[in-house]
Structure formats: structure tokens, C-alpha cells
Amino acid sequence: MINRRQLERNLLMVAGIIMLNGILAVNLAHGVLNYQTLGAVTFIFAGFMAANIVLCKVGHTGDPLFLPLASLLVGIGLIIILRLKPELFMLQVMWVGVGLVAFLISAILAKRLEQIAYFKYICGFIGVGLLLSAILFGVDIGGNKNWIIMGPVRFQPSEFAKIFIVLFLAAYLSERRELLTLATKHYGPFVLPHPRFIAPLIAVWSLGMLMFVLQRDMGAALLYFGLAIIMTYMVSGRSSYVIIGMIAFLVGSVICYHLYSHIQLRVDIWLNPWSDPSGGAYQIVQSLFALGSGGIMGSGLTYGFPTMIPEVHTDFIFAAIGEEMGLIGAGAVILLYILMIYRAFRTSLLSLMPFSMMVAAGLAVSMALQTFLIIAGVIKFFPLTGITLPFISYGGSSIVSNFILLGMLFSISEVRGYDAK
């Protein structure tokens, strides 16, 4: 068997060549060779290689596919951002650099993940605090009221809160898994768990609803709610949790739909965007045009018109990929996510400790849900939600938090013997 890190290095090389190829293609289409962008890409490539060498030196035996998959997604993101918003390209390069450092720190620190389980309530409070801070002090930037400004630092707390919420839920649920599975009360045909043990679920549900109503942030609400339900299901193996959760969410959604006009507007746009194509539904209609005109082969980088879509570099970056790289490119991106999420679930199944098993599964679910929700929103499969596409969308908070998440998964995937128990 080839060494894991060697395997990783080979794949990183290919990803680096792809990145360079794409940047060159964009440059040439503009007719000028911008050496600054080429230098920046070389810097990112060197960064990934350096990360590989550091992991080699530390003797990390994590899954060799996580880092190359992330590097290719980041590479595709950089290519598209250079094409869409060249002025943001250098910033994104910087964020990827910061993200790589965060990845290494979290990959090495998360070796002692089990100790975090002792601080589960602190994690829970930090997570809820971050979400509440966005609700209370959130500032509206680019249509989403989920930014926090602290002096020179601006960030989106909901991106980081998901890591803390996963840690809390994993610790809480893995500690109480026998109670959740066995302690039941019978209400007619339904076998429900004891109300005491689903309290955190209800708390996350109401938090999600609060975000839904106050922040108009349906994406985050769905993400956190889905996360809580799926993690409870994974820990207990009882489908009654999923059914109860879905009923609760549907009831809440219907009530919100009738009470709040902005939610009605969102749903109406989703059901029939063509009633108001140049007003409220402008974004989604332009996104559909972009995907449609891309066809199977795509228009080619810089030969399409994805800049017609507002917010194309963050939430709608998938539509730009669909237009300029076609079904082939967009399909490849979805495949990359599928492979990454598959590896994350595999990590969870191979892990020996219940807590790290739940953390890996929770992180996998959060990544899968986020990718699904935003891609489904862009292609009008689902009402639109304002969340980022992991690793591809422009944005410091998104990139750094996803690299931290990846570092934790990477660390859990390390083959550990029973002695680590």
C-alpha cells in the first residue's frame, strides 16, 4: 500500500494543475497574463503542499482524500471568483491561506477531541450565543441580516455556530443514547420518548423558528433543525423522532407562512417566479436562465453572462458554474461533494468512540445539508435559502469555518487503536 500522505500529495498535484489551468484560461480569455493571480495560485498550491508536509512530519494518518477534495473545490471557487469578481480574488486567496492554517490547527488539536465532551454545555452555550448574537446585533450586509461587526472584524456567526452545535449535540446525545432509545411513553399508536430527553431538540427547534422569523434566514433555520433531528435519529435509530420533527417543522412553517408576509413572498417566488421576473424573483429567474443557457458543455469560462445574477459570487456561485462550465462542470462539483460527504460518513462509521462517531456524523450531515440546501435553492428545487456553498463561495467566515470542520473530520479519520480509549 502506498503511503497515505504520498497518495494525498499526488492528488494535490493534480488539483494544483487544475487550479493553474483554470486561472490561465480566465487570464487568456481576458487577453492579458496577470502574473499576480498566477503567483497567488502558486501560493495556494504551495500552502496545500506545506500542509501535506506538516501532516507528514506530525505523523498524521488521517484520510488522504479530504485535503485534495477540498483543494479542488477551493480551486474551482478561486477560478470562478477570478472570473466573476476579480477585485475579490486576492482577498479570497488570503482567506484560503488563513483557512489552511485553521485546518492544520484543528487537525492537530482535535486529536484530543474526547476532552471537548467534558465542555459540552460550554460548546452549546457558545453555539447558541453566536446564533443569538446574530439575531440581536445582526447587521444587514448584502440582504442577509446575519453579520456581526466588531471593530474591524466582520463575520457571520452562524457559520461558526454550526461546529459548536454539532459538538454539543454529539456529546449530549452520545451520553444519553440509551435513554433516547429505551425510555419511551406510549401515546396511542405513537411511541414517544420521555419529554425530558427531547428538551434539547425542542430548544433547537424553537431557535430555528426564531431565526426563521426574525432573521429571514430560512437556510440556517433548516440547517440547524435538520442537524438536530438527523443526529437524534442516528443516535437512537428511531424513526419516530424524524416524523415528530418533520411534523413540528411543517406546523411551524405553516403558521409562519400565514403570519409573516416576507415568508409568503419567498414561497410565492419559489412556486411561480415568472409572475414577477424583474422584481422579487429577479435573482432566481436569472439563475435559471444562466443554468439553462449553460447547457451540457457550458459557455466556457468568461463567455457567459453570470454577472447578471445578484450575489453570484456567494450564494449563487453554483449558477455561474452551471452556466460557464455546463452540466459537466456542475456535475463534477456535485460529485466532489458526494465523495467528500461519503468519506465523512465513512470516517464516522470507522471511528471507535461514540462521541467522535457522532461528531463526524454531525459534521458530515451539516456539510451535506448545507450543500443540498443551497444547490437546491439555486436550481429552484427548494425555496431559496441564503447560505454559502462550502469551500467554493466567496467569504472569509465560510472558508475558515469549513476548513476547521474539515480539520476535525480529518483528525477523527486517523486510524486509532483501542489503546487510545
Shortest gap between Cβ of 328 and other proteins (angstroms)?
A: 5
Phi-psi region of 59 (alpha: psi -120 to 50; beta: other; left: phi over 0): left
Contact with other proteins (CB under 8 A): which of 17, 191, 203, 271?
17
Q: Provide the mask over 286-325, with x wherever binding to other proteins is found by CB under 8 A and - wherever it is not.
A: --------------xx-----------------------x
Determine the angle formed by the axes of helices 239-259 and 218-236, rounding to 10 degrees. 160
Which residue number, 161 or 341, has a Cβ lying nearer to other proteins? 341
The Cα 42–Cα 44 span in angstroms is: 5
Q: Is 328 in the site for other proteins (CB under 8 A)?
A: yes
Query: Nine-digit cell at 416?
Result: 486509532
Q: Is 64 in the site for other proteins (CB under 8 A)?
A: yes
Bridging pattern class, strands 184-187 and 144-150: unpaired
Q: Is 242 in the site for other proteins (CB under 8 A)?
A: no
Shortest gap between Cβ of 23 and other proteins (angstroms)?
A: 10
DSSP assignment of 172-230, as one string? HHHHTHHHHHH-EEEETTEEEE-GGGGHHHHHHHHHHHHHHHHT--HHHHHHHHHHHHH
Q: Is 11 in the site for other proteins (CB under 8 A)?
A: yes
Count of residues making up the chain = 421
- Write the single-letter amino acid at 256: C
Which residue number, 126 or 234, has a Cβ lying nearer to other proteins? 234
Q: Is 178 in the site for other proteins (CB under 8 A)?
A: yes
The Cα 197–Cα 225 span in angstroms is: 16
Contact with other proteins (CB under 8 A): which of 39, 129, 143, 237?
237
Contact with other proteins (CB under 8 A): which of 181, 206, 264, 275?
181
Site for other proteins in 348-377 (CB under 8 A): 354
Instruction: Report which of 246, 248, 247, 223 is spatially closest to residue 362, judged by C-alpha positions.
Output: 223
Interface positions with other proteins (CB under 8 A)? 7, 10-11, 14-15, 17-18, 21-22, 24-25, 28-29, 31, 64-65, 68-69, 72, 76, 79, 175, 177-178, 181-182, 237, 300-301, 325, 328-329, 332, 335-336, 339, 342-343, 354
